[in-house]
Structure 1
Amino acid sequence: MKVTVSVIKADIGGFVGHSDAHPDCLCTADSALARAKEKGLLIDYHVTKCGDDLQLIMTHQKGENNGDIHEMAWDTFVECTEVAKKLKLYGAGQDLLTDAFSGNIKGMGPGAAEMEFEERVSEPIVVFMADKTSSGAWNMPLYKMFADPFNTIGLVIAENMHQGFKFEVHDVKESKKITFKTPEEIYDMLVFIGAANRYPVKAVYTLSGEIAASSSTQKLAFLAGRYVGKDDPVCIVRCQGAFPAVGEALEPFAKPYLVEGWMRGSHYGPLMPVSVAQSQPTRFDGPPRVTALGFQLSEGRLVGPRDFFADVSYDQARQKANDMAYMMREHGPFEPHRLPLDEMEYTTMPQVSRKLESRFEAI
């Protein structure tokens, strides 16, 4: 059967500060999705969180970018925002950038990753969710999963993977996209995806065009002369068969790497793989976290989840991420811990520049 997996997330209010999602918001979302399932809109769903972000994992047969699915998710976030406001949660509804749904959730604040495919005899998927980071955070792990034989041995020894994959890369500033074929165009592709803040990997396909991975690439909306909303991306990866094994899909996160985000969305920090229970960033509102939930699909039903990063084999990665966090924090307000000014989500630079403009002298 053909099934669509939709993962739609939003920050509708933090408990306490930006550290966690309140249980009442999760229960409200669960009830909303249960009603949608009873009406036949959804086949199945799972509600979870990553840090202070509410995550809706859903299966249905309405295809990608479906207005009914997106409106239902939007209404769920609005309902949860009302709960957040009653609890006086921090930043209640901060990812809802407009007052009314306009047909598609894209550009309205929440992030979304979706893929439609014919369900295989065995269909394992992994849903990655991150907090305190931006949409380009998946560039390095997706490259390692689908193009790096040191990570994915299947690229070398599995006949159905040996031919490589195609990467769809978006230019989020110019609203353009390009597709690279690997391994032939790896060097060309790395020129772009190495600049993850501008050129995030949106999707990965087999050479025949079958979807392998899908990520959210929504960047911060620039409204009223300032950045509003947050990124905190999600990603869906199909595994086994013609795709990386589950262990190959998880392996990139065994070595923490630096991503943008962390405190006020304005710092580089290590992405720490954690269980859902440990996705409560507190140190300097961080460091950035990533969770991974695994499901088997059965006629669209979500069998699971498996909380993959609850595994003790990621303890060393967590320790290394903490060591990296200490090193980066020692820089305080100086780069490379703080982002370059043109990439900062919250910054007083324009106001300070205007105030001091008359005091600058020609050299």
Structure 2
Amino acid sequence: MCGKPQKERPVANSNLLTLTAIKADVGSRGGHTQPSEEMVAVCEEEMHNAVGETLLDCRVTTTGDDICMLMSHLPENGPSVNDLAWKALDRAGDIAKTQGLYGAKQDLLTSAPSGNVRGAGPGVASITFATDAPERPAETFMVVTADKCGPGIFNFLFGKVFTDPDMAAGLMLPNMLDGFTFTMIDMEHVEPGKNVDRVIRLDGGKELPKLKLLLRGEDEYGILAIHSNRYPHQQVASTSTDRLHSIAGVYKGKDDPVGLVRTQGIFPAPEELMSPFTVAPYVAGDARGSHNMPLMPVPINTAVTGVYCLPIVSAMAYSITPEGMFSEGVDMFDNPAWDSTRKKAQLKAMLMREQGSFGCAMLPYSQLEYAAYRKVMEDLNERFVTESR
């Protein structure tokens, strides 16, 4: 826990709450493994000091080499929350530099932003909702954090659970029978000097084949948001969709996404949301951000130590009061029930690694994250000659 009880909540927009999760790699021990304890502590300190002012409550966790800050706050405090998170990550990065850690501040790609860290390197997911909506008598949600992979992982995980009744039987209940609308974003779209997104909204029921066509492109298109069709004002999910190479122009680490997803009642239950994770799907990322490997569910605060940096994912479930206070978290993958999935992921990883660098074991040339790979290809292209047949 990283907060002190708040005696009185501000009254402005008192029926609205915002959940924000901000996550970044600003340095880690022994390679891309895990942040130091001092780095996590300074983030907790920044969060703790802001509770009762900028924040209502907060939690700080790690997944692999990333630090994630979960915060509840009033919607109008959004810019201050973004600035607070940046300050915390910047301080953690300073500690990483002092300690000689690897990749210090690697995800802080711009100078200090003003009020919005999206597009500056860190992954950001945020949802605002009314605390007095009659269709949501209690508020539960989950934070999904992943390392050594990109935001396209949610295309499979959320794409399945919000469109396939075989994954989530609740989709056949009256409150969810109308389905969900997906806001998809073109993650490769960049307009120099403009802070704009290229998006499209598709009905996950009526336009499922078209939606699937975009969901399959995990490196090109991502899920920005998902909304209920029966209750269009209710956003159920938000994921970070920034591509670091699109911001920096060169490889600066994999995008290592974070997602927020509300659960129960008019939305799928936690146990339904867990269904797609049992697949341990092959995803882009892994060592040097340039391979295809299975996604392994692991407990929160797990270091990356697997062969070729096996992509990992964690999920923490919480309840939240109308005053913005979090319950104790439930670590959804800290359970023997997931041991078989972890073994499955290891087996799938070993089978893929038997291919070495051939074919689908690595990403296509256009998606290779390390600029050095492309430089070698450019040198080779210059050596090609045209010969008569």
Q: What CA distance in whole angstroms lies between the structure 1 residues aligned with 2:203 and 2:40?
A: 40
Q: AA paired with 1:295?
A: Y
1:164, distance to aligned residue in structure 2 (A): 0.7
Q: Which residue of 1 aligns with 2:174?
A: 159
**In 2 relative to 1, CA 138–63 (structure 1 residues): closer, same or farther, beyond 3 Å?**
farther
For residues 1-363 of structure 1, the aligned pairs below 5 Å read 1-38=15-52, 40-63=53-76, 66-119=78-131, 120-156=136-172, 158-174=173-189, 175-207=197-229, 208-209=231-232, 210-222=234-246, 226-277=250-301, 279-298=302-321, 299-363=323-387
Q: What CA distance in whole angstroms lies between the structure 1 residues aligned with 2:92 and 2:262?
A: 30
Q: AA paired with 1:288?
A: P
Contact 2:109 2:248 in 1 (8 A): no
For structure 1, which segment, 304-313 or 225-234, has the greater mean C-alpha deviation from structure 2 after superposition?
225-234
Q: What CA distance in whole angstroms lies between the structure 2 residues aligned with 1:56 and 1:134?
A: 18
Contact 1:4 1:63 in 2 (8 A): no
Contact 1:109 1:221 in 2 (8 A): no
1:100, distance to aligned residue in structure 2 (A): 2.4
Q: What CA distance in whole angstroms lies between the structure 1 residues aligned with 2:285 and 2:257?
A: 11
Segments of 5+ residues of structure 1 without an aligned counterpart are none
Q: What CA distance in whole angstroms lies between the structure 2 residues aligned with 1:111 and 1:63?
A: 20
Contact 1:272 1:288 in 2 (8 A): yes
Residues 12-38 of structure 1, C-alpha deviations (whole Å, 9 max, x = no match): 101221111211111110001011114
Which SS does the other structure have where 2:343 is aligned?
Answer: helix
Which SS does the other structure have where 1:179 is aligned?
Answer: strand
Contact 1:222 1:228 in 2 (8 A): no
Which SS does the other structure have where 2:162 is aligned?
Answer: helix
1:223, distance to aligned residue in structure 2 (A): 6.2
Contact 1:19 1:285 in 2 (8 A): no
1:225, distance to aligned residue in structure 2 (A): 5.2
Taking structure 2 as the reference length, what is the TM-score of the superposition?
0.89
Q: AA paired with 1:57?
A: L
1:334, distance to aligned residue in structure 2 (A): 1.7
**In 2 relative to 1, CA 291–357 (structure 1 residues): closer, same or farther, beyond 3 Å?**
closer
Q: What CA distance in whole angstroms lies between the structure 2 residues aligned with 1:144 and 1:200?
A: 14
Which SS does the other structure have where 2:326 is aligned?
Answer: strand
Q: What CA distance in whole angstroms lies between the structure 2 residues aligned with 1:342 and 1:288?
A: 21
1:102, distance to aligned residue in structure 2 (A): 3.7
1:118, distance to aligned residue in structure 2 (A): 1.2
1:317, distance to aligned residue in structure 2 (A): 0.6
Tell me the C-alpha RMSD between the 2 structures.
1.6
Which SS does the other structure have where 2:339 is aligned?
Answer: helix
Q: What CA distance in whole angstroms lies between the structure 2 residues aligned with 1:191 and 1:100?
A: 37
Residues 24-53 of structure 1, C-alpha deviations (whole Å, 9 max, x = no match): 111110001011114x10000000000000
For structure 1, which segment, 352-361 or 101-110, has the greater mean C-alpha deviation from structure 2 after superposition?
352-361
Which one has a larger percent strand, Structure 1 or Structure 2?
A: 1
Equivalent pairs, count? 359
Q: What CA distance in whole angstroms lies between the structure 1 residues aligned with 2:370 and 2:159?
A: 29
**In 2 relative to 1, CA 224–189 (structure 1 residues): closer, same or farther, beyond 3 Å?**
closer
1:312, distance to aligned residue in structure 2 (A): 1.2
1:319, distance to aligned residue in structure 2 (A): 0.5
Which SS does the other structure have where 2:360 is aligned?
Answer: coil
**In 2 relative to 1, CA 45–285 (structure 1 residues): closer, same or farther, beyond 3 Å?**
farther
**In 2 relative to 1, CA 155–225 (structure 1 residues): closer, same or farther, beyond 3 Å?**
closer
**In 2 relative to 1, CA 124–358 (structure 1 residues): closer, same or farther, beyond 3 Å?**
closer
Which SS does the other structure have where 1:160 is aligned?
Answer: coil
Segments of 5+ residues of structure 2 without an aligned counterpart are 1-14, 190-196
Contact 2:39 2:96 in 1 (8 A): yes
